[in-house]
């Protein structure tokens, strides 16, 4: 059973006459880990703030479990937020920070204590009750911020780039941690990030945004393997994006040659973007290659080598486990299923 | 090392000439009679002025409380607007302080007089005249008007340090407006409140200009009596020094009380 818990309908947000969100429609499925992904300024944080009650829409509707909550103030919403800079209360110790929401509800002391302990355990911070906020590292502060938001047992947890200030290793740990917490508590997480890897790692659903519009909604696999357009293909992982012409169904011309592909439904001779993932290009001996180019640069990236190749007027990026010699001439092959054809995006 | 010690000389000389020596003189005068012999008579004579001292403290406390009640929301609102508007609002608050203190208080006299501007406006609608001047209310009004900026400025400076995200987090966790002030903004503003209380209370409790100009002679404060012992008819610098000493001790006691209160709140 998939229930929609939050719906945005025709959401428009303007700031100083500029449209930050342009007519957004979004359904959030209950108990999912949903990520809003996009470059800075795409409107992802604004979308989150609308749901939290901190930003107002110029027009549009927000539904929570089918009830319109446009004008409900933040303190009456069944959502809680983990802020980018943690926003812990500097005048309270860790116990009181987490207990804050429960004290507002005037719960009995015994229940407050039990629930705070439970939360500290959930975020692996037992024994820190009496410590002050300033004595914690960034990662620890983030755990407390998560505990403080979750102690109110919200239906939905909003997270605004919560791992942005942490170093890479800590970020990876917290990604796994957050996913575990979400699955353990079985509540909806709406997570804002500009880090595509983070989005792919944690999400059930990824919402890709750009310039105040939603570009694509899908599972991480969908978004990666079947991007709707060249922007998404480029933003989610690296891509070679080449100008092409669709000669007819299943036949595309680019880099001066015709290639078989698996796409159809384009107009004859339509100008298209051809997207090929760097790991989908096979390096072969020169005489076997469909495309022949000169190796310009090789960078060791750990798992693979990133090889830059100059061929037919394009710079190609190839990810390969085998290194090639700079200056050597190589052949490149692509299987038809790895050639993704996309409509050209209208320039704005 | 030598050079840096040498640099302190002007400062030490300044403190010596303008603080240590005058203070020592006050203590010396307070504890001697006109022949220069040690006596506690001056301090005992203070008992005649206890009601004045009490009135001074009560007026100063009332003025301080009113300043706090006005300044708290004002400073908070100023701290939440854009930084450009913030600086112009702060300048607006400080502009009256560039005008002479005496002039500002004279201005209030002309406003509050029986046939002053305010009563004239009342008479236009058939009301008044009201007794607006020469009473306790006018003195307290004068204190609030003159010392309000000393409350707003320290409050504003601590409130600008409260992150907008902290306020949003409190609302997010269920705070309505009242709880937001009570549980977050008030405790985080404590250092500014204690500074502001001291900055308003100290000049209020020792003022003599405001009470003389707006109090009509019936609401004289301890400052008026101290002044008259030095410059007035009842010339007696020994008694005046004793009064000043007692007032100073009371003020220092209250200041240390507030400072401790403030630093405790700020340290958590």
CATH code for position A158: 3.40.50.300
Is CATH 1.10.3720.10 what the domain over B50-267 is classified as, yes or no? yes
Residue A25: pLDDT band (50, 70, 90) is very high
pLDDT of residue A132: 93
pLDDT of residue B235: 86
Is residue A105 domain-shared with residue A191, that is, in the same domain? yes
Give the total number of structural domains in chain A.
Answer: 2
Domain containing residue A244: CATH number: 2.40.50.140
Tell me the per-residue pLDDT of B25-46, one tens digit each, with 9 for 90 and over: 999 999 998 888 888 888 888 8
Q: Is residue A348 part of a domain?
A: no
Q: Which residue has the tokens 């997207």?
A: A275
Summarize the confidence of residues A73-94 as an average pLDDT.
92
Interface touch B172/A91, C-beta < 8 Å: no
pLDDT at A15 over 50: yes
Tell me the per-residue pLDDT of B185-215, one tens digit each, with 9 for 90 and over: 999 999 899 889 989 999 999 898 899 889 8
Out of B171, B175, B188, whose CB is closest to A91?
B188
Is residue A243 domain-shared with residue A191, that is, in the same domain? no
Residue A348: pLDDT band (50, 70, 90) is very low
Is residue A279 domain-shared with residue A331, that is, in the same domain? yes
Interface touch B173/A92, C-beta < 8 Å: no
Is residue A208 domain-shared with residue A279, that is, in the same domain? no
| Domain residue ranges in chain B | 50-267
Q: Is residue A256 part of a domain?
A: yes
Tell me the per-residue pLDDT of A177-211, one tens digit each, with 9 for 90 and over: 999 999 999 999 999 999 988 999 899 999 999 99
- What is the domain range of residue A251? 239-343
Question: How far, rounded to the nearest angstrom, does the alpha carbon of residue B56 sit from its chain's CA centroid?
Answer: 12
The CA distances from residue A323 to A62, A276, A287, B107, B146, in Å, are 53, 20, 19, 87, 79
Distance CA A218, CA A203 (A): 10
What is the least distance, in Å, from the CA of A288 to any CA of chain B? Answer: 60
**Of A165, A198, A230, which closes a domain?**
A230
Q: What is the pTM of this model?
A: 0.80
Question: How far, rounded to the nearest angstrom, does the alpha carbon of residue B233 sit from its chain's CA centroid?
Answer: 27
Residue of A52, A72, A74 to mutate for B, most B C-beta atoms under 10 A: A74
Is residue A81 domain-shared with residue A159, that is, in the same domain? yes
Q: Is residue A31 part of a domain?
A: yes
Residue of B167, B171, B172, B192 to mutate for A, most A C-beta atoms under 10 A: B172
Token pair, residue A180, equals 């575990």
Q: Which DSSP category does B32 fall into?
A: B
Q: Is residue A333 part of a domain?
A: yes
pLDDT of residue A302: 86
pLDDT of residue B254: 79
Is residue A285 domain-shared with residue A308, that is, in the same domain? yes
Is residue A90 domain-shared with residue A154, that is, in the same domain? yes
**Of A211, A230, A249, which closes a domain?**
A230
Residue A55, C-beta contacts closer than 8 angstroms, at least 6 positions apart:
A13, A46, A49
Is residue A281 domain-shared with residue A134, that is, in the same domain? no
Token pair, residue A249, equals 């169904």
Distance CA A263, CA A249 (A): 7
Residue among A91, A29, A36, A331 at smallest CA distance from A206: A36
Distance CA A31, CA A190 (A): 10
Interface touch A91/B175, C-beta < 8 Å: no
Which residues in A have their CB inside 8 Å of a CB on B?
52-54, 73-75, 79-81, 83-85, 87-93, 100-101, 103-105, 132, 148-149, 152
Cα dihedral B216→B217→B221→B222 (10° resolution): 150
Distance CA A195, CA B248 (A): 62
Is residue A119 domain-shared with residue A253, that is, in the same domain? no
Residues on chain A touching B165 (C-beta within 8 angstroms):
83-85, 87
Q: Which has the higher per-residue pLDDT, B62 or A2?
A: B62
pLDDT of residue B2: 64
What is the least distance, in Å, from the CA of A147 to any CA of chain B? Answer: 12
Is residue A110 domain-shared with residue A222, that is, in the same domain? yes
Q: Which DSSP category does A64 fall into?
A: E
Is residue A138 domain-shared with residue A261, that is, in the same domain? no
Q: Which residue has the tokens 């507030």?
A: B258
Distance CA B86, CA B157 (A): 11
Residue among B130, B185, B175 at smallest CA distance from A152: B175
Residue of B174, B185, B189 to mutate for A, most A C-beta atoms under 10 A: B174
Out of B163, B174, B179, whose CB is closest to A152?
B174
Q: Is residue A259 part of a domain?
A: yes
Out of A90, A93, A101, whose CB is closest to B173?
A101
pLDDT of residue A346: 63
Question: How far, rounded to the nearest angstrom, does the alpha carbon of residue A335 sit from its chain's CA centroid?
Answer: 28
ipTM over 0.90: no
Token pair, residue B209, equals 């200009």
Token pair, residue B161, equals 């340090």
Out of A84, A93, A152, whose CB is closest to B173?
A152
Which residues in B have their CB inside 8 Å of a CB on A?
163, 165-166, 168-176, 179, 183-184, 187-188, 265, 268
pLDDT of residue A1: 55
Q: Which residues, given as ranges, of chain B have pLDDT below 70?
A: 1-2, 261-268
**Of A204, A230, A256, which closes a domain?**
A230
Tell me the per-residue pLDDT of A290-323, one tens digit each, with 9 for 90 and over: 888 999 999 998 889 999 999 887 889 999 998 8
Is residue A20 domain-shared with residue A164, that is, in the same domain? yes
Residues on chain A touching B163 (C-beta within 8 angstroms):
85, 87
The helix/strand/coil state of A22 is strand
Out of B163, B173, B268, whose CB is closest to A104?
B173
Phi, psi of B11, rounded to the nearest 5 degrees: -65, -45
Tell me what the pLDDT averaged over chain A comes to.
Answer: 91
Q: For B268, which residue in chain A has the nearest alpha carbon?
A: A91
């Amino acid at each position: 059973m998939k229930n929609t818990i939050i719906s945005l309908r025709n959401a428009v947000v303007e700031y100083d006459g500029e449209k930050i969100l342009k007519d957004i429609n979004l359904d959030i499925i209950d108990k999912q880990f949903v990520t809003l992904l996009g470059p800075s300024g795409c409107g992802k944080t604004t979308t989150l703030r609308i749901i939290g009650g901190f930003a107002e829409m110029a027009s549009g509707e927000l539904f929570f479990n089918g009830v319109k909550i446009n004008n409900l103030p933040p303190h009456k919403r069944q959502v809680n937020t983990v802020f980018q800079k943690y926003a812990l209360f500097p005048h309270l110790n860790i116990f009181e920070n987490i207990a804050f929401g429960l004290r507002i509800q005037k719960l009995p002391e015994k229940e407050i204590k039990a629930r705070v302990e439970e939360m500290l355990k959930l975020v692996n911070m037992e024994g820190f009750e009496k410590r002050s906020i300033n004595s914690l590292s960034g990662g620890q502060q983030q755990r407390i911020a998560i505990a403080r938001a979750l102690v109110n047992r919200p239906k939905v947890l909003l997270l605004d780039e919560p791992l942005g200030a942490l170093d890479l290793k800590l970020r990876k740990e917290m990604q796994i941690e957050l996913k575990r917490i979400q699955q353990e508590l079985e509540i909806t997480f709406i997570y804002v990030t500009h880090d595509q890897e983070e989005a792919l790692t944690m999400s059930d659903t990824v919402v890709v945004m750009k310039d105040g519009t939603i570009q694509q909604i899908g599972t991480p696999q969908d978004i990666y393997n079947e991007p709707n357009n060249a922007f998404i293909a480029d933003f989610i992982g690296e891509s070679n994006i080449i100008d092409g012409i669709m000669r007819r169904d299943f036949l595309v011309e680019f880099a001066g040659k015709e290639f078989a592909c698996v796409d159809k439904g384009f107009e004859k001779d339509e100008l298209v973007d051809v997207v090929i993932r760097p790991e989908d290009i096979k390096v072969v001996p020169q005489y076997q290659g469909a495309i022949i180019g000169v190796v310009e640069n090789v960078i060791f990236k750990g798992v693979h080598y990133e090889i830059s190749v100059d061929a037919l007027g394009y710079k190609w990026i190839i990810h390969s486990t085998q290194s090639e010699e700079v200056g050597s001439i190589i052949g490149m092959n692509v299987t038809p299923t790895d050639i993704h054809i996309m409509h050209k995006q209208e320039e704005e | 090392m030598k050079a840096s010690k040498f640099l302190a000389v002007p400062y030490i000389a300044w403190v010596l000439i303008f603080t240590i020596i005058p203070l020592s003189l006050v203590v010396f005068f307070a504890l001697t009679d006109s022949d220069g012999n040690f006596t506690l008579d001056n301090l005992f004579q203070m008992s005649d002025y206890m009601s004045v001292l009490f009135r001074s403290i009560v007026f100063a406390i009332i003025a301080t409380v009113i300043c706090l009640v006005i300044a708290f929301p004002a400073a908070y609102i100023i701290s939440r607007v854009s930084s450009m508007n913030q600086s112009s609002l702060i300048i607006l608050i400080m502009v009256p302080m560039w005008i002479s203190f005496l002039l500002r208080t004279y201005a209030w006299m002309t406003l509050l007089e029986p046939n002053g501007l305010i009563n004239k406006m009342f008479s236009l609608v058939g009301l008044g005249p009201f007794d607006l001047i020469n009473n306790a209310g006018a003195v307290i009004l004068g204190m609030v008007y003159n010392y309000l900026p000393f409350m707003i400025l320290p409050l504003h400076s601590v409130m600008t340090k409260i992150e907008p995200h902290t306020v949003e987090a409190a609302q997010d966790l269920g705070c309505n407006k009242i709880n937001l002030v009570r549980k977050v903004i008030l405790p985080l503003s404590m250092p500014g409140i204690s500074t502001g209380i001291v900055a308003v209370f100290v000049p209020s409790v020792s003022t003599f200009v405001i009470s003389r100009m707006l109090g009509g002679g019936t609401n004289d404060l301890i400052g008026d009596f101290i002044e008259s012992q030095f410059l007035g008819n009842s010339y007696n610098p020994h008694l005046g020094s004793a009064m000043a000493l007692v007032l100073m001790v009371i003020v220092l006691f209250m200041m240390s009380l507030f400072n401790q209160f403030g630093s405790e709140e700020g340290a958590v």
